Amino acid sequence: MGNWVCCGKDRKRRNVERIDGIDGISRSPALGHDVLNAPVSLQPVPVGVSDGSHVHITNVRSAVASAHGSSLPAVPLTVSDNNVCGDVSSMGIAGVNKVFVALYDYDARTDEDLSFKKGEHLLIINDTQGDWWFAKSKASKQEGYIPSNYVAKLESIEAEPWYFGKIKRVEAEKKLLMSENEHGSFLIRDSESRRNDFSLSVRDGDTVKHYRIRQLDEGGFFIARRTPFRTLQELVDHYSKDADGLCVNLRKACVQIEKPTTGGLSHRDQWEIDRSSLKFIRKLGQGQFGEVWEGMWNNTTPVAIKTLKPGTMDPKDFLAEAQIMKKLRHQKLVQLYAVCTLEEPIYIITELMRNGSLLEYLQGKGRTLKLPQLIDMAAHIASGMAYLESQNYIHRDLAARNILVGENNVVKIADFGLARLIKEDEYEARVGARFPIKWTAPEAANYSKFSIKSDVWSFGILLTELVTYGRIPYPGMTNAEVLHQVEHGYRMPCPPNCPPALYEIMLECWHKDPMKRPTFETLQWKLEDFFTLEGSEYKEASIAY
């Protein structure tokens, strides 16, 4: 088999268990001389990398020198594609080869990237960089950097097309009911209520049925206790051939349309990029501080380019905004990629949301959206805000104009332009700061005090924008009238065609006492469960025991 190193799982310092296929130490051609043929207690040794094809054991001499009586040089070990350790599922160490499978197509963005197709097998050479790994295609033999969230370990559950991980029941239903899926389409997800268990969601006509997958203490899984399986793969295989008590036999895995956002534009994680690498394609919108354009980076990657009007904001403030955005990572927040700040106008480069702002979308193409779709958008916005809430950040300008829309009605929160990390529950706003009165909580408008609870107030206003397809809040009232009336207890009446239950949520957001307003986490689950019927969420397999 040649020289190889097997590394213990989940340790930063690894044990060398075997050299040249012999327990203990024997003569090694790689070492170039005899090594004492006797059992040796090997201590953990660090493993380094010189290049993509050699692993250097830098401290083997510390393990064998006491037995041999001499110092030994570092030894390169060539690792072939097939010399893969038995259990390397979570080694964060360079130079250990691991076979992964591509979950999506990826087109190289730079000369250092590796293009690949969904299903392709990739040998991971270096996985120490987090968002980007260095890999080799087993098909083309080419090497390059790949986004780590586009691949999963071969034969792992994450590599299965039907495994969707940690998504909620309502999200599973939304995905399965898309037109791309058919009767019998299915997915498996992590259980929301039981740790280590799973849930099977199956499309049955125009509805979705859910089944609990329980895990046995001795290992294995079952839906019906009389029919256990060693693995989830075996469970899926069984119910694909025979419904065996399910509503329908499993057919195709749920279609996965949306690709994940990469961590940065490339593995170099450039913060400041050359503005000549950007190409402006079409204007998406214009706001108080500048314009937003659809563009292209490096002639390979679609991006959004936000420009800052010269003199509108101190460049340092703009950079502070960008620094905050880059640290925040959530599937419902627009991802920051890079900035151009060395000259004006300053640019901020983010992921592209092709349908522009939610406000303009609601007033145009989105006018055909039905209430369930609007509520679903609201739940996703609440999800992103719940993340900001958990990170102790506030938005300060939450409104439909600052929500962006992508393909398939995907919404993400943008422009946390005035967001600040809050160490206390609230902070004093800058003197002279401008804010939109009709979206602003009374304690913020009158006393310049903002907190996550003032964002909750703004979210209630955003809900009115959704159900009225972009109508300006408090129609017919001036800013001064709104400020005066709201302070004296006035609240916007229920919008036309708005369900009473949704208006109740709005009123909760507009409670005069900020501390009595709901959290975004609460708002998220209320909106996610808005249309859930009473009764059991999960079905039992109808099997005669």
pLDDT tens per residue across span 302-338: 999 988 878 766 777 777 777 777 888 899 999 889 9
What pLDDT sits at residue 426?
42
Token pair of 442, please?
């009374």
What pLDDT sits at residue 168?
87
Edge-to-edge order in the sheet of strand 54-57: 47-49, 54-57, 75-78
DSSP 308-377: E-TTTS-HHHHHHHHHHHHH---TTBPPEEEEE-SSSSEEEEE---TT-BHHHHHHTGGGG--HHHHHHH
Edge-to-edge order in the sheet of strand 346-350: 278-287, 290-297, 301-308, 346-350, 336-340
Token pair of 17, please?
């268990």
What pLDDT sits at residue 545?
25
Question: How far apart, in whole angstroms, are the C-alpha atoms of residue 326 and residue 320?
Answer: 10
Name the nearest CA neighbour of 17 among 7, 3, 2, 31: 7
Tokens 């279609």 locate to 255
What pLDDT sits at residue 95?
45
Calculate the alpha carbon distances from 524 to 209, 303, 375, 376 in Å: 22, 29, 10, 10
377 by Cβ neighbours in 10 Å (0-12 / 13-18 / 19+) ranks as buried
Q: How many residues does the chain have?
A: 545
What pLDDT sits at residue 344?
85
What pLDDT sits at residue 164?
94
Question: How far apart, in whole angstroms, are the C-alpha atoms of residue 481 and residue 12?
Answer: 63
Question: How far apart, in whole angstroms, are the C-alpha atoms of residue 89 and residue 124?
Answer: 11
Q: Which domains does the chain have, with CATH numbers?
A: 99-157 (2.30.30.40), 162-241 (3.30.505.10), 275-351 (3.30.200.20), 357-529 (1.10.510.10)
What pLDDT sits at residue 478?
93
Token pair of 147, please?
């986004």
Tokens 């050479």 locate to 125
Looking at residue 66, its amino acid is S
CA dihedral (26, 31, 34, 39) positive or negative:
negative
| CB-based burial, 261-283: b 16+ in 10 Å, e otherwise | bbbbbbbeeeeebebebbeeeee
Mention every residue, 6+ apart, whose C-beta is less than 8 A from residue 251.
182, 183, 184, 185, 186, 240
Name the nearest CA neighbour of 458 among 405, 381, 529: 381
The set of catalytic residues is: 397
**Cβ distance 1 to 77 under 8 Å?**
no
Token pair of 163, please?
């495994």
What pLDDT sits at residue 541?
55
Number of neighbouring beta carbons within 10 Å of residue 254: 23
What pLDDT sits at residue 196?
83
3-state helix, strand, coil in the chain (%, to 5): 25, 25, 50
Question: How far apart, in whole angstroms, are the C-alpha atoms of residue 306 and residue 293?
Answer: 6
Instruction: Calculate the CA dihedral of residues 308, 329, 404, 181 and round it to 10 degrees.
Output: 150
Name the nearest CA neighbour of 246 among 207, 210, 192, 194: 210
Q: Is 306 annotated as a binding residue?
A: yes
Per-residue three-class SS string for 158-224? HHCCCEEECCCHHHHHHHHCCCCCCCCCEEEEECCCCCCCEEEEEEECCEEEEEEEEECCCCCEECC
Coil, strand or helix at 480: helix
Looking at residue 240, its amino acid is S
What pLDDT sits at residue 124?
94
Residue ranges of the chain with per-residue pLDDT less than 70? 1-97, 288-289, 312-313, 417-435, 532-545
Token pair of 27, please?
């003569």
DSSP state of 439: G
Question: How far apart, in whole angstroms, are the C-alpha atoms of residue 96 and residue 125?
Answer: 6
Question: How far apart, in whole angstroms, are the C-alpha atoms of residue 530 and residue 467?
Answer: 14
Number of neighbouring beta carbons within 10 Å of residue 294: 18
Mention every residue, 6+ apart, whose C-beta is less than 8 A from residue 412.
331, 332, 333, 334, 353, 384, 403, 404, 406
